[in-house]
Amino acid sequence: MLLLTAVALAAPKPTAGEEAKLATGAVAIRPVPASTEAAIAVVGFVDVAASRDDVWAILLDFPGRRPTNPSLVRVEEYQPGTPRNQWWLFTIQKFGSTVTYHNVYTVNAGGGVLAHALDPARTNDLVKNTGVYTLGACAAVSTPCTRLTWEVETDFGRSIPGFVKTWLGRAAVEGFLSDLAVRAAQR
């Protein structure tokens, strides 16, 4: 719990240019240094025209991510969840490749933090997939509004083509955050 609270306090802040982009209703994505050459790391921001509770509900609706993401071909809870932890398997197909991985999610609803990491007890096609979603206040005055920040790093354990890294590091994250924002606003 202390770790998640510390992470929430350390959530990155958008730059002035990113704030300007968020003010238009767009998603802002910033590449950040990755831990290895085979990894990609980004931080994404989106201001969601919805309450924190609605954003939280959509964030935890893992099967709800599939209908609007054609690359996501399988989402399955592989272990019963608890109020504090969730265990989900994801299979993504893109560019002729299939990647399956198991994420463990640690929930801190009161702190507005959802952290994830690969489940080391399961077989994964990734070496690393860590991230933190943080819910906070929007800079805009419109209500309701919740800022969702997602810091994520994915390591494939092998070199991947630049266009795949670009898609994963920009288009996939932007599409995912946009979809979450739309679904939360429609709740």
Tell me how long the chain is.
187
- Reply yes or no on whether the pLDDT at 139 is more than 50: yes
Residue 162 bridge partners (DSSP): none
Q: What is the mean pLDDT of residues 29-35?
A: 94
Distance CA 32, CA 48 (A): 23
Distance CA 94, CA 27 (A): 22
Indicate if the alpha-carbon torsion angle 119, 44, 57, 65 is positive or negative.
negative
Distance CA 167, CA 179 (A): 16
pLDDT of residue 10: 66
Please tell me the CATH superfamily of domain 2-185, with its number.
START domain (3.30.530.20)
Q: What is the mean pLDDT of residues 169-183?
A: 90
Give the Å distances, CA to CA, from 74 to 36, 93, 150: 27, 9, 22
**pTM: predicted TM-score of the whole model, two decimal places:** 0.91
Q: What is the mean pLDDT of residues 60-79?
A: 94
pLDDT of residue 119: 98
Percent of the chain clearing pLDDT 90 (strictly above): 75
pLDDT of residue 162: 79
Query: Look-up: residue for tokens 């599939």?
Result: 66
- Mean pLDDT, the chain, integer: 90
Give residue limits of the domains in the chain: 2-185
